[in-house]
Amino acid sequence: MAESVKRAPAWVSVVGLLLAICIAGLAAATPRASAVTFCGGVTLAPYGQGGDRCWGPSRESLNFAAVVTYQRAGCVNIASSSNVLLQSWVCGAAGSAPQYAASVTYLQDPRGFHKGVIRNNNLSYSATFSGNFGCANGCTS
């Protein structure tokens, strides 16, 4: 006599899939959760003038950078240890504090040394900004 196999309802599979997606999202967000501040509370000159950027320290396995804005819009990028920008600028609106206005990830060189870079995106006025970065293997300040 063959025994019938009982299957779990379909909703159990859906819930399991959603749980797996949430766990994967948390794992990917780890650098953001342990972000280290750089250029905290720095005043940057208007875009295009000397002093419109602030470069963070070079860190091994840096793969995330973000900008926090206060009075003006700001941008963020990731650079090599030689200050070569590795991606296009990602910009965000003014007044994001305490949240990130914009963030960027760089996953192409997990063992390389990189740094976060923030920039004032306003053409006329100086403003205050802060940057944050995260590393795949954990960052030290």
> Is there a domain that residue 96 lies in?
yes
Whether 141 is in a domain gets the answer no
For the segment 49-77, what is each residue's pLDDT rounded down to a tens digit? 999 999 999 999 999 999 999 999 999 99
Where in the sequence is the domain holding 46, given as residue range(s)? 35-135
| CB burial string 44-54: b at 16+ within 10 A, e below | bbbbeeeebbb
* 8 Å CB contact between 97 and 110: no
Residue 129 near residue 67 (C-beta atoms within 8 A): yes
What's the domain count of the chain? 1
User: What confidence category does residue 7 fall into, taking pLDDT thresholds of 50, 70 and 90?
Assistant: low
CATH of the domain at 109: 2.60.120
Is 88 a member of any domain?
A: yes
Tell me, yes or no, whether 104 lies in a domain: yes
Out of 4-8, 74-78, 94-98, 129-133, pick the least confident. 4-8
**Residue 85 belongs to a domain:** yes
Asked whether residue 12 is assigned to any structural domain, the reply reads no
The tokens of 133 are what? 């970065």
- Per residue in 92-123, pLDDT (tens digit) is 999 999 999 999 999 888 788 999 999 999 99
Average pLDDT, the chain: 84
Residue 20 inside a domain? The answer is: no
Residue 84 lies in a domain: yes
How buried is 113 (Cβ within 10 angstroms: 0-12 exposed, 13-18 middle, 19+ buried)? middle
